[in-house]
Amino acid sequence: MKITAARVIVCCPGRNFVTLKIETDQGLTGLGDATLNGRELAVASYLTDHVIPCLIGRDAHQIEDIWQYLYRGAYWRRGPVTMSAIAAVDTALWDLKAKAAGMPLYQLLGGASRTGVMVYGHANGRDIAQTVDEVLRYQAQGYKAIRAQSGVPGLEKVYGVGRGTMFYEPADADLPSEHDWSTEKYLRHTPQLFDAVRRAVGPDIHLLHDVHHRLTPIEAARLGKDLEPYRLFWMEDATPAENQEAFRLIRQHTTTPLAVGEVFNTVWDCKDLIQNQLIDYIRTTVVHAGGITHLRRIADLAALYPVRTGSHGATDLSPVCMGAALHFDLWVPNFGIQEYMRHTDETDAVFPHAYTFSDGFLHPGEATGHGVDIDEALAAKYPYQRAYLPVNRQQHDGTLWHW
């Protein structure tokens, strides 16, 4: 099956998405997500100007060889732009191979290891009361796992709380908007949030929280200890993880499970975290960690320790990534949980898909391939609109901090 053409489709149905479409001489096409929030055009150019010329004429069935060619052959390895581009090619090729085999992607990976993919929803509120109401709303919809993020008294804007409650979209301006931050106010407030949430939902709902890289290791250790009475499923991105060793300090002080990795793009970013059992869940994704091919390698390393998967699934990962992720999640033996921030109706219309939600679980469906398509005519009605993620400054002196 020869690759005859490939093109990048950039669209903005409420937010920007970058999609790679690969065509073959057998009339089959494959899709891959290449969306990198706030840096979309960098990946679009990497694909169009540097990758696609090398794909034409290659055998689409040679997924591994093409992956190695694009990784080793780039010389400049790793990084979010390179690995998102490789991921898009890899995902499209797995889509093609499963379609050519006449089966859903999860069957090609090794079949279903579970009946469905447990997901967690995002309950966000401007304050504790509204966040509790949102958590109860998700519980009523059948979610078994719910992430809670709320505004912090004294801070105007914080991560995870957007305009309204149904959808949170962090890329909110033509140039980066500025948030203010106070670790002290956050550390005082968050245990109160989870005391109220746990009292409201009872003991059986999995509760999650995203610190979003904001704390130092010792501050993260303190928060982990303060949250222990509320039995979190995980505390995510407790501290920036370029220094993987930093998690050893957190690990020494708390039994609150730790998750990290949505910004990682190869196994090298998490090798030490996994091998030293400094985390419990690895959050790497199909779109940002080199596609299905590389994500399997990360999951296999994690399975030795035993670290489970908990892939990122925010609105800025397209339905193409979500579809492929669900096939991966249904198969992978050391599955933990899948984030499901949901997309808007206009996004879902551009990306028709086979996956379905029921009673707190997603299922990828039985369509061949990953089961997600793109309506190119509709996508063309939503041209790219530059949008940046915010930046964050310490409230007391304006120091640029982690967003």
Q: Please identify every residue annotated as catalytic.
A: 159, 212
Residue 170: CB minimum distance to Mg ion, A? 10
| Residue with Cβ nearer ligand CS2 (269 or 339) | 339
Instruction: By CB under 5 A, tell whether 329 contacts Mg ion.
Output: no
Residue 75: CB minimum distance to ligand CS2, A? 28
Rounded to a whole number, what is the distance in angstroms from the first to the last CA of the chain? 44
Residue 288: CB minimum distance to ligand CS2, A? 9
Instruction: By CB under 6 A, tell whether 210 contacts ligand CS2.
Output: yes
Residue among 219, 269, 316, 373 that touches ligand CS2 (CB under 6 A): 316
Q: Which string of x and - marks every residue 284-313 that binds ligand CS2 (by CB under 6 A)?
A: ----------------------------x-
Residue among 262, 280, 329, 373 that touches ligand CS2 (CB under 6 A): 262
| Residue with Cβ nearer ligand CS2 (80 or 360) | 80
| Residue with Cβ nearer Mg ion (134 or 210) | 210
Residue 265: CB minimum distance to ligand CS2, A? 14
Q: How many residues bind Mg ion (CB under 5 A)?
A: 1
Residue 109: CB minimum distance to ligand CS2, A? 24
Residue 282: CB minimum distance to Mg ion, A? 13
Residue among 339, 354, 370, 374 that touches ligand CS2 (CB under 6 A): 339
Distances, alpha carbon 79 to alpha carbons 50, 51, 264, 299, in Å? 15, 15, 8, 19
Instruction: By CB under 6 A, tell whether 314 contacts ligand CS2.
Output: yes
Instruction: By CB under 5 A, tell whether 210 contacts Mg ion.
Output: yes
Q: Which residue is nearest to Mg ion (CB)?
A: 210
Instruction: By CB under 6 A, tell whether 37 contacts ligand CS2.
Output: yes
| Residue with Cβ nearer ligand CS2 (171 or 201) | 171
Instruction: By CB under 6 A, tell whether 40 contacts ligand CS2.
Output: no
Cβ-contact 118, 360 below 8 angstroms: yes
- Name which of Mg ion, ligand CS2, none residue 316 binds, using a CB cut-off of 5 to 8 Å depending on partner kind: ligand CS2
| Residue with Cβ nearer Mg ion (40 or 210) | 210
Instruction: By CB under 6 A, tell whether 90 contacts ligand CS2.
Output: no
Residue 55: CB minimum distance to ligand CS2, A? 27
Reduced 3-state DSSP string for the chain: CEEEEEEEEEECCCCCEEEEEEEECCCCEEEEECCCCCCHHHHHHHHHHHHHHHHCCCECCCHHHHHHHHHHCCCCCCCHHHHHHHHHHHHHHHHHHHHHHCCEHHHHHCCCCCCCEEEEEEEEECCHHHHHHHHHHHHHCCCCEEEEEECCCCCCCCCCCCCCCCCCCCCCECCCCEEEECHHHHHHHHHHHHHHHHHHHCCCCEEEEECCCCCCHHHHHHHHHHHHHHCCCEEECCCCCCCCCHHHHHHHHCCCCEEECCCCCCHHHCHHHHHCCCCCEECCCCCCCCHHHHHHHHHHHHHCCCCEECCCCCCCCCHHHHHHHHHHHHHCCCECCEECCCCCHHHHHHCCECCEEECCEEECCCCCECCECCCHHHHCCCCCCCCECCEEEECCCCCEECC
| Angstrom distance (rounded) from CA 277 to CA 281 | 10
- Name which of Mg ion, ligand CS2, none residue 217 binds, using a CB cut-off of 5 to 8 Å depending on partner kind: none
Instruction: By CB under 6 A, tell whether 280 contacts ligand CS2.
Output: no
Residues forming contacts to Mg ion in the complex (CB under 5 A) are 210
Residue ranges binding ligand CS2 (CB under 6 A): 37, 170, 210, 212, 262, 312, 314, 316, 339, 341, 389
